[in-house]
């Protein structure tokens, strides 16, 4: 019987792109999202040392938090799971846009979970308004919101860019530049970037109705 890793590696590259996404966190854990039809499975895969081929996992947590606006922060799940980091940045609200990542302090912070798959063909734009509403809620309540996904590289930056375009009136290039300056690791997948480029006109048309 093939292991899950072998099964995934046996997929063609095209099928792999459509069937699953893998994220290796900085602590060395590998999260695999796979789906067939409407069924999505999230598993955590142990990576045996002999399979690492010289790769040494960085066991330090990624606690770098990007300050996009005084009320809007961007980071990884590590930052969202580190109480000291959250208190240091005076976080009150947490927007979790990962898939299968738990909210670990439900009694201490106001959470919203919007599960987004980090895939180029994921339709990102329908999620943006829901995320914007939560960010605006935090702002109205004089709070500070941390937006995070798993690695804080693709989904969370994409959502923040969408917010800046939709609710802050910025152009795509301005929003992308601000996010990259706040968190240099930010790199939304190509599909998300393409959708966000076209989002400005869509957002403006929507605001006229």
Catalytic residues: 149
Residues in the chain: 209
Assign residue 152 a region (left: φ > 0; alpha: ψ between -120 and 50; beta: otherwise): left
Cβ(45)–Cβ(5) below 8 Å: yes
Rounded to 5°, angle at Cα 60 from 54 and 66:
120
Measure CA 135 to chain center: 15
Nearest CA among 76, 49, 48, 72 for reference residue 63: 76
Distance CA 96, CA 98 (A): 6
- Residues contacting residue 119 through CB under 8 Å, at least 6 positions apart: 17, 18, 21, 189, 191
Token look-up 């980090």 returns 118
């Amino acid at each position: 019987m093939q292991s899950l890793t072998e099964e995934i590696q046996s997929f063609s590259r095209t099928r792999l792109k459509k069937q699953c996404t893998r994220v290796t966190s900085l602590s060395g854990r590998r999260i695999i999202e796979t789906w067939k039809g409407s069924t999505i499975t999230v598993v955590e895969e142990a990576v045996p040392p002999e399979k690492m081929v010289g790769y040494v996992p960085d066991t330090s947590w990624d606690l770098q938090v990007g300050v996009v606006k005084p009320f809007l922060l961007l980071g990884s799940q590590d930052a969202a799971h580190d109480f000291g980091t959250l208190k240091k940045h005076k976080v009150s609200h947490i927007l979790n846009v990962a898939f299968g990542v738990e909210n670990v302090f439900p009694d201490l912070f106001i959470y919203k979970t919007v599960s987004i798959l980090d895939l180029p063909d994921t339709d990102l734009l329908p999620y943006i308004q829901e995320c914007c509403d939560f960010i605006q809620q935090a702002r109205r309540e004089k709070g500070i919101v941390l937006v995070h996904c798993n690695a804080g590289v693709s989904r969370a930056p994409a959502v923040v860019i969408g917010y800046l375009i939709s609710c802050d009136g910025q152009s795509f290039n301005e929003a992308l530049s601000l996010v990259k300056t706040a968190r240099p690791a930010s790199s939304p997948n190509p599909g998300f970037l393409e959708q966000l480029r076209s989002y400005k006109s869509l957002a403006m048309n929507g605001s006229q109705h």
